[in-house]
Structure 1
Amino acid sequence: MIAFPKFIRIQTSSQKHSRIATMEPSQLSCMDMKTSLDKAGIVHQDAALRQAAGQAFCNTSKFTLRDLRSRASQQQLRADFEAYLDGFSPNVQDILENFEFRNQIPRLSKADALGTLIEKLLDTSINLGPNPVLNADGSVKHPGLDNHAMGTIFEELVRRFNEENNEEAGEHWTPRDAVKLMAKLILLPVANEIESGTYLLYDGACGTGGMVTVAEETLQQIAAEHGKQVATHLYGQEINAETYAICKADLLLKGEGDAADNIVGGPEHSTLSNDAFPSREFDFMLSNPPYGKSWKSDLERMGGKDGIKDPRFVIEHAGDPEYSLLTRSSDGQMLFLANMLSKMKRSTKLGSRIAEVHNGSSLFTGDAGQGESNIRRWIIENDWLEAIVALPLNMFYNTGIATYIWVLTNRKPAHRKGRVQLIDATQWFKPLRKNLGKKNCELSEEDINRICETFLKFEETEQSKIFPNEAFGYWKVTVERPLRLKGIDANRAYTPKEIKALKETAERDETAPPVIKKIHKRGVEPDPLRGMFEAVLPAPSRSGASDLPPSP
């Protein structure tokens, strides 16, 4: 699969309204500025050049794509096209590098297809840019392609080329209907509390950036409806090079250069082992982390389970200074949630609000004392979990498994304190006329509003159940009891081999004397052989006398 960067595509919209038309004068300005900076001996030129271009990126090459159509030979065309790419600013170079776009040029040139590609990029009948192409009368000739439309194209390409790769399930992209629901679930409850000011949004597995951009749009809309003016800063981290490149390109092309600089990505930038924002705290966070995907390579880079000291995953809780949130290496999805929880604002009125998509394993995987269970216990004992929403099956493009939205905040309103709402939205959907991969349904606006209304009302209904936090905890006790069997000689010690045979043939009797195991160390008294039996008991009330810790 050859993936062409969105940035290159975007230079081809149409006639006077196209990016190519506006790029040419900006290139002249950049070239003039570069000449002046070179003469002055200024080395760091990027900011000045972008300012001269009047946009978030620039190109100091003497070529435009339109110029390259006249090249007579493939050799000259390839050389000039590479020079054209070399003229872009460092932020675009980063995009090209993560697309590995230059690796495709020799293949295209050898196949005599580079000129054809450039013609396609200059085709006036299509618009792959974010802004609409207009007719002379101002009507829309070609609508713009927003982030989610580009994400849909990318996801469809990925699906077609990776249908048999089960490891990738849930990894790539979240459909727009699910994202809109997530954005509303974290923003509508505080719509009346949003003040004019600056808000930070974050996604630790940002993909093409759809979640933070939709959340930004929703926040701006809610603020405007309440007469407030808000500024937003978007932050994200993404390990997949191509999706990261799409995200960054999209922001650059919308003029959000600062936001593009706050998106960090590529194979060396795993959120789990290489946190790009260790000291940042965010107002609103959304994410769809990969589920069922191994994080063993991250674990090794971090020093193994015994060597990890990352304060996001080894914390102080319930009197334990090294309370571990480390999950099984075969599935790291809950660690993305722990990462977000570590970035909550603790000193603001609104605190932080989080929405994250998980599959069903996050609800029950992990025994008491293990990482997944510890994360759930940590969340519930801090009273951060507001609700879990069960989504319809087959909502996502490349997986048909059950998915759930977790909604969390460190500023629960009084009527929600100490309680968790479970919403069954599995039957609220609209069937698609044609399947998109495994996605055969979507949430209509009516469905989204119905889910949000159920969430905001916080009432018991057939689809909404409310439980106290204690209902999600339990006590796990190991009861040690001597092994007692009928016909045992109380004055004799038995060998391990004899005990094994007795277990298979003798009848248990709680009134019989304990079996004594024969040991072979002089001066050591025989001990009863103790069998281990697990018992799961209901959690007592917080005022109970037991000092054992509950484990959700």
Structure 2
Amino acid sequence: MDHSVHNKLISFIWNIADDCLRDVYVRGKYRDVILPMVVLRRLDTLLEPTKEAVLEEVKFQKEEMQATELDDEPLKAASGYVFYNTSKWTLKSLFNTATNNQQILLANFEEYLLGFSDNVKEIIECFNLKSQIRHMASKQVLLDVVEKFVSPYINLTHETVEDPDGNKMPALTNLGMGYVFEELIRKFNEENNEEAGEHFTPREVIELMTHLVFDPVKDQLPLTMTVYDPACGSGGMLTESQNFIEEKYPNDSRDVYLYGKEINDETYAICKSDMMIKGNNPENIKVGSTLSTDEFAASRFDFMLSNPPYGKSWASEQKHIKDGSDVIDPRFKVSLKDYWGNLEVVDATPRSSDGQLLFLMEMVNKMKDPSVSPLGSRIASVHNGSSLFTGDAGGGESNIRRFIIENDMLDAIVQLPNNLFYNTGITTYIWVLNNNKPEARKGKVQLIDASLLYRKLRKNLGNKNCEFAPEHITEITDTYLACMDVERALDANNDPIGIASKVFSNDDFGYYKVTIERPDRRRAKFTQDAIAPLRFDKQLSEVMEHVYAEHGERVYEKTGYGSDQKKSFLKSIEKDILSWCEDNDISLNAKAKAKLLDVKHWLALKALLETAQTLMADIGSNEFDDFNSFKTQVDKSLKAHAIKLSAPEKNAILNAVSWYDETAKKVVKKVVKLTGDKLDDLLERYECEVADLPDFGYYPVPREEGGKKGEFITYETNSDLRDTESVPLKQSIYQYFLDEVKPHVDEAWINLDTVKIGYEISFNKYFYRHKPLRSLEEVATDIINLEQKAEGLIAQILGVNVAEVQGEA
């Protein structure tokens, strides 16, 4: 659609809202009337030419066939579409026969709506149109609105017509109607200070996507084709795909079937009306959340194109996909091998704040198996930058990227210019997937940077200030089809221009995330100050300290309070405690509150403090630089006093009286015996020699310390010193450790049991070109030239003579 015509049509429809609905609706509610009336008028114009034929068919079925229920198929045949209206009314006849009595108009209008086929009634229901026309009738504006929509100066038909002044009004195509619809939504949302939830895909972007999807297989296109969009919006992606196939690769024997799902009732209604107008099966368009319910679970599709919502939370749908941490929807689980080669089923769900990759996985799930369908399936999907790199190794986003790349489905990614979309200015990318790559592309991924290919619009459309020209689309498509590296050109100022392309191996994007451990070195010393906090729960220390400071030993009294003298002291002052917490902005959940008021919990902590005091009396207040020796003395003292502590209780005491010190001795975890098969298995697992085992956390016990052959020490790790390294898949983890870690931290070791595999794609890293700074001489020359140009200007402005001021005259 021509943008000037597009803007003129938008302006006319917008003025309908201003002229007729002011004072009847608040501005934010204009859309509730305008959007359904646009769709209704469009359907109405299509049915006008065949109105008499439909009424004749109704008469025939009722009088000749004595039918109690009308047969749909003959009525569809009579209307020429997959929908019809059996009432005597059209919007024009409603207006022409209307009087000033709004109630009569309302009755006729409702009769007109009831005459539609069920598929249109569903659209009317989605728009909640009946309640809107009743409201307009009660406010005496229904006739005015109908008059505006049947005006000969507005063309919502798919035919070119003339207005009363003889000016041609271009046809409104299905995609054009999508533009109108989305632009109206944008304007309404701006009026209401809202953000549009979806970003409508510009026509030229859809055209590029169709080229990327269909051109590589133009000679293999099947005669029966299915196209699917899981976030179909107003249907522009689907109908444009169909138009592309019919125009570029015509074949009278070819059938194209369109499928889609849309969560928004309004956009679903317009999409379904487009399907009906085009002659497609509207039943293939479903309403509802694609993520919550899998409407097409049994279906597989040849081609899929989509622009799913990005940066949009899917938290409300999480209950349909996950049960706690377990994924229950098979679409969002994948099988991947861990570092050791063991196959495992892993989570393929992204962060709950951004669900765009879930739509990509939905499409991957709907791909045809190449063993069943020789062509396989092809996907083009628009995403923002977060899909390329967010998520750590082993996380949902990374697992999705890994699954797609390791299964050789990712064909190419095209970076688009900024401000190409109507409602967002962020950088966007087209992902092209293919599960049956040609031999030349197998094991490869092509990255294309087309961010500098655009032409500016004369007038912005929302955020959109540029567009692709036809030659840009051709250049991107040709670059993709060639699958070769293309160096970006530079202009006279050494600035990059044009397109760039690079071809990578699949594993270029993968990396190992490995944990590097360092031993814990601790000093220890018993002091009263160190053990005093043991009286209180760490998580409740502030409030417990306050209560103890206020009431002392009374907090341990189990009974003697309340009307029956059976309440504990803590229970008796519950209101005071909670009031203090509220005053000090301390929030307590039910579990924390129960612990705080539980005398048994207080007594257990008191007993722990008393145990620490007993240990202090035995061991004294000497400082130990060998934590291993200190622990041995603690164990001896506990045994001597027959005190049994749980592991958490013992650790609480040890942690309270010890601290990290790099000059202290390493803390031993245990001594292990590694001989025979056990040693051989470990060496095979780590692919190393015995002398290399310290690099994996196994240190031979020194002979002078009584060490025997095959005995190895393992040390406790210090979580504060723990670090992670990202190692490229093509590189050995051990060699990376020797080159990049060991020279700097000699006592570090690799923890291979923590290795996770991740994938990320960084366009900036691959396409960034450094532009050297200008030399000092160049900068100085420019400054001197500017000074010379400016000389005399100030004097001229002030009206003085430079020579006179300087005393030279």
TM-score, L = length of structure 1: 0.87
Deviations 1:329-376 (A, max 9, x none): 111100100000011111222111100000111011111111111100
Greater Cα offset, 279-288 or 527-536 = 527-536
Shift of 1:170: 6.3
> Runs in 1 of length 4+ with deviation above 6 angstroms?
164-167, 542-547
Structure 1 counterpart of 2:727: 538
Retained in 2: the 8 A contact 1:33–1:52?
no
1:354 aligns to 2:379 (yes or no) = yes
Shift of 1:134: 6.7
Structure 1 counterpart of 2:409: 384
Structure 2 counterpart of 1:523: none
2: CA distance, partners of 1:513 / 1:302: 46
Shift of 1:480: 4.1
Structure 2 counterpart of 1:262: 284
Shift of 1:456: 1.0
- Mapping 1:373-452, distance limit 5 Å: 373-452=398-477
Shift of 1:68: 2.1
Structure 1 counterpart of 2:148: 120
Structure 1 counterpart of 2:790: none
Structure 1 counterpart of 2:13: none
2: CA distance, partners of 1:544 / 1:485: 29
- Mapping 1:275-354, distance limit 5 Å: 275-302=294-321, 304-306=323-325, 308-318=327-337, 320=343, 322-346=345-369, 347-354=372-379
SS at match of 2:308: coil
Code of the residue aligned with 1:285 in structure 2: it is M
1:551 aligns to 2:758 (yes or no) = yes
Shift of 1:308: 3.7
Shift of 1:150: 1.3
Retained in 2: the 8 A contact 1:334–1:372?
yes
2: CA distance, partners of 1:333 / 1:448: 25
Structure 1 counterpart of 2:571: none
1: CA distance, partners of 2:152 / 2:254: 37
Q: 1:4 aligns with which of 36, 49, 52?
A: 36
Retained in 2: the 8 A contact 1:129–1:144?
yes
Retained in 1: the 8 A contact 2:229–2:304?
yes
Distance 1:169 1:135, change over 3 A: closer
2: CA distance, partners of 1:11 / 1:169: 26
Retained in 1: the 8 A contact 2:156–2:171?
yes
Retained in 1: the 8 A contact 2:199–2:422?
no
- Mapping 1:35-46, distance limit 5 Å: 35-36=62-63, 39-41=66-68, 43=69, 45-46=71-72
Unpaired segments ≥5 residues, structure 1: 14-18, 518-526
2: CA distance, partners of 1:165 / 1:400: 20
SS at match of 1:163: helix
Distance 1:166 1:187, change over 3 A: farther
Unpaired segments ≥5 residues, structure 2: 1-29, 488-499, 524-624, 635-650, 671-713, 735-751, 760-809
1:507 aligns to 2:526 (yes or no) = no
2: CA distance, partners of 1:358 / 1:153: 23
1:158 aligns to 2:188 (yes or no) = no
Retained in 1: the 8 A contact 2:196–2:423?
yes
SS at match of 1:389: strand
SS at match of 2:112: helix
Structure 1 counterpart of 2:209: 182
SS at match of 1:4: helix
1: CA distance, partners of 2:268 / 2:510: 39
Structure 1 counterpart of 2:626: 488
Shift of 1:33: 4.5
1:129 aligns to 2:157 (yes or no) = yes
2: CA distance, partners of 1:8 / 1:508: 81
Structure 1 counterpart of 2:547: none
Greater Cα offset, 342-351 or 32-41 = 32-41
Q: 1:273 aligns with which of 286, 292, 302?
A: 292
Retained in 1: the 8 A contact 2:333–2:348?
yes
Retained in 2: the 8 A contact 1:421–1:465?
yes
2: CA distance, partners of 1:298 / 1:134: 49
Structure 2 counterpart of 1:61: 87
Greater Cα offset, 365-374 or 422-431 = 365-374
- The CA RMSD over aligned residues, in Å, is 3.0
Distance 1:271 1:386, change over 3 A: same
Distance 1:135 1:158, change over 3 A: closer
Structure 1 counterpart of 2:709: none
Shift of 1:208: 0.7
Code of the residue aligned with 1:551 in structure 2: it is G
Distance 1:412 1:228, change over 3 A: farther
Distance 1:403 1:83, change over 3 A: same
Equivalent pairs, count: 524
Retained in 2: the 8 A contact 1:432–1:440?
yes
Shift of 1:168: 4.8
Greater Cα offset, 93-102 or 421-430 = 93-102
Shift of 1:215: 1.3
Shift of 1:481: 3.9
SS at match of 2:376: coil
Distance 1:115 1:164, change over 3 A: closer
Shift of 1:157: 1.7
Q: Which has the larger radius of gyration?
A: 2
The structure carrying a bigger helix percent of its residues is: 2
Structure 1 counterpart of 2:257: 233
1: CA distance, partners of 2:179 / 2:278: 18
**Percent of aligned pairs with the same residue?**
45
Structure 2 counterpart of 1:87: 115
2: CA distance, partners of 1:11 / 1:326: 40
TM-score, L = length of structure 2: 0.61
Shift of 1:243: 0.8
2: CA distance, partners of 1:4 / 1:405: 32
Code of the residue aligned with 2:727 in structure 1: it is P
2: CA distance, partners of 1:126 / 1:223: 34
Shift of 1:441: 0.5
1:97 aligns to 2:140 (yes or no) = no
Q: 2:510 aligns with which of 473, 477, 485?
A: 473
Code of the residue aligned with 2:388 in structure 1: it is L
1: CA distance, partners of 2:334 / 2:388: 21
1: CA distance, partners of 2:324 / 2:296: 22
2: CA distance, partners of 1:156 / 1:444: 21
Distance 1:543 1:530, change over 3 A: closer
SS at match of 1:249: helix
Shift of 1:20: 5.5
Structure 1 counterpart of 2:690: none
2: CA distance, partners of 1:391 / 1:53: 43
